[in-house]
């Protein structure tokens, strides 16, 4: 059997990883500023993480949600503390798309409505309603087409107000990334997030903060949406939550009341997923990684803004988009193959930096030096 060929691949096999470095099969070291798509939050093969998972695997790796799993309560308590949402409740699942599916479903159960407001440039995942709320017709199969999603321009306060004037009584939820990732590192403005909060309150709609990529401390605050000073009803998380172990979740405001069978999953919240999640939060807290993300991120953003070839630098903390002119189409490829640095990308010509939150200033300097050379071709 061959693989179903859906991914454009770089011809590199990674065989070893540590911190912000990865090594290929030829022994060549790369600086990893991509983190396998914002997933590596505490660095590759962190000793505490490896120990936690190894110890747990030697006890029990998996049992289903039909028995007590106290590790889930521990993870919920720790997440509440580190994220500052101690009165929220946690539902655990396995991926970002699944987190968004569950958040949308929860909203619809809550107010009995069907319509969802999403935004131009959004990416919420590749399943069912998550893909319908994603602004990319190419990946929406006919079976996922629905009239229930209303797409509005990002940060357009008038359009949002008008949509609520028109459909207010049937809107189940507004779903928004604090900073669009796949969309090219575009920030939701603070007044816009505040308006979402107040229109949702006035219309009994649910404000869903998709924090799958921009969350989990990457921008310096646990949830980037919280820079607006208002809370979302549901925060969705995945990527950095397990540092590579597939674990995701939704953090749910106290006003939502659960009933047995309302949400569920086989793998969600299994023993290994919980210890992966706990190890990440323990390291984030112990090593002050949110502060580090803010410090090293600000350092990078400031330095990048001084480079004249760059069209625009966007983002916060360690979620950075570098928009390049069309005249420099090969920089990302050159960074990888000539300078041995992994970065992400977004269309049309944006380089995305999504490194581990313990990236050092020395790593940042290494990148800046190589990047300036890459810009010269
Ligand atoms: C903002 C956002 N939401 C949801 C997802 C989907 O996550 P997953 O690929 O884990 O399903 C992604 C993935 O890139 C994302 O960036």
CA of residue 300 to ligand 1 center, whole Å = 25
DSSP string across 48-65: HHHHHHHHHHTT-S---T
Ligand 1 atom closest to the CA of 177, numbered from 1: 1
* Share of residues in the chain with pLDDT > 90 (%): 99
* Share of residues in the chain with pLDDT > 70 (%): 100
Q: Which residues contact 28 (CB under 8 A, 6 or more apart)?
A: 340
Structure tokens at 339: 């300078």
Name beta bridge partners: 55.
Answer: none
- pTM summary value: 0.98
**Pairwise CA distance, residues 206 & 170, whole Å:** 11
Q: Residue 10 above 90 pLDDT?
A: yes
What does pLDDT average to over the chain? 98
CA of residue 86 to ligand 1 center, whole Å = 25
Structure tokens at 160: 């949002």
Whose CA is closest to 256, among 85, 130, 36? 85
Out of 123, 176, 188, 209, mutate this one to test ligand 1's pocket (max ligand atoms within 8 Å of CB): namely 123
Yes or no: say if 364 and 299 are a contact pair by the CB < 8 Å rule. yes
pLDDT (tens digit per residue) in 238-295? 999 999 999 999 999 999 999 999 999 999 999 999 999 999 999 999 999 999 999 9
Omega before 348 within 30 of 0, i.e. cis: yes
CA of residue 369 to ligand 1 center, whole Å = 31
Structure tokens at 278: 């706990």
For 226-249, what is the mean pLDDT? Answer: 98
The pLDDT of residue 377: 82
Ligand 1 atom closest to the CA of 126, numbered from 1: 11
Yes or no: say if 152 and 159 are a contact pair by the CB < 8 Å rule. yes
pLDDT (tens digit per residue) in 197-213? 999 999 999 999 999 99
For 159-172, what is the mean pLDDT? Answer: 98
Identify the residue whose C-alpha is closest to ligand 1 atom 16: 213
- Whether 115 lines ligand 1, by a CB cut-off of 6 Å, is no
């Amino acid at each position: 059997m061959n693989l179903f060929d859906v991914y454009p691949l770089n011809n590199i096999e990674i065989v070893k990883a540590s911190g912000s470095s990865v090594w290929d099969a030829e022994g060549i070291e790369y600086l990893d500023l991509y983190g396998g798509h914002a997933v590596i939050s505490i660095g590759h093969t962190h000793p505490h993480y490896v120990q936690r998972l190894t110890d747990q695997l030697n006890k029990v790796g998996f049992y289903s949600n039909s028995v007590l799993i106290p590790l889930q309560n521990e993870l919920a308590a720790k997440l509440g503390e580190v994220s500052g949402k101690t009165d929220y409740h946690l539902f655990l699942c396995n991926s970002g798309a699944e987190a968004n599916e569950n958040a949308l479903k929860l909203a619809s159960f809550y107010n009995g409505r069907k319509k969802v407001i999403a935004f131009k440039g959004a990416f919420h995942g590749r399943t069912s309603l998550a893909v319908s709320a994603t602004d990319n017709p190419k990946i929406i199969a006919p079976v996922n087409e629905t009239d229930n999603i209303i797409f509005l321009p990002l940060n357009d306060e008038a359009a949002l107000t008008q949509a609520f004037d028109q459909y207010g009584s049937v809107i189940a939820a507004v779903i928004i990334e604090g900073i669009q990732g796949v969309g090219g590192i575009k920030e939701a403005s603070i007044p816009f997030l505040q308006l979402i909060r107040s229109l949702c309150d006035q219309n009994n709609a649910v404000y869903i903060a998709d924090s799958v990529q921009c969350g989990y401390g990457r921008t310096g605050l646990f949830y980037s949406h919280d820079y607006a000073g208002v809370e979302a009803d549901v925060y969705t998380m995945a990527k950095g939550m397990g540092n590579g172990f597939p674990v995701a979740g939704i953090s749910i405001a106290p006003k939502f009341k659960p009933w047995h069978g309302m949400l569920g999953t086989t793998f969600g919240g299994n023993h290994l997923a919980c210890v992966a999640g706990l190890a990440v939060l323990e390291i984030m807290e112990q090593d002050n990684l949110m502060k580090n993300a803010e410090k090293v991120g600000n350092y990078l953003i400031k330095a990048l803004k001084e480079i004249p070839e760059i069209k625009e630098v966007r983002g916060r903390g360690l979620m950075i988009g570098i928009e390049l002119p069309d005249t420099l189409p090969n920089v990302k490829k050159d960074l990888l193959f000539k300078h041995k640095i992994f970065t992400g990308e977004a269309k049309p010509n944006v380089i995305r930096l999504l490194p581990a939150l313990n990236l050092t200033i020395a790593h940042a300097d290494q990148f800046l030096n190589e990047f300036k050379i890459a810009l010269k071709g």
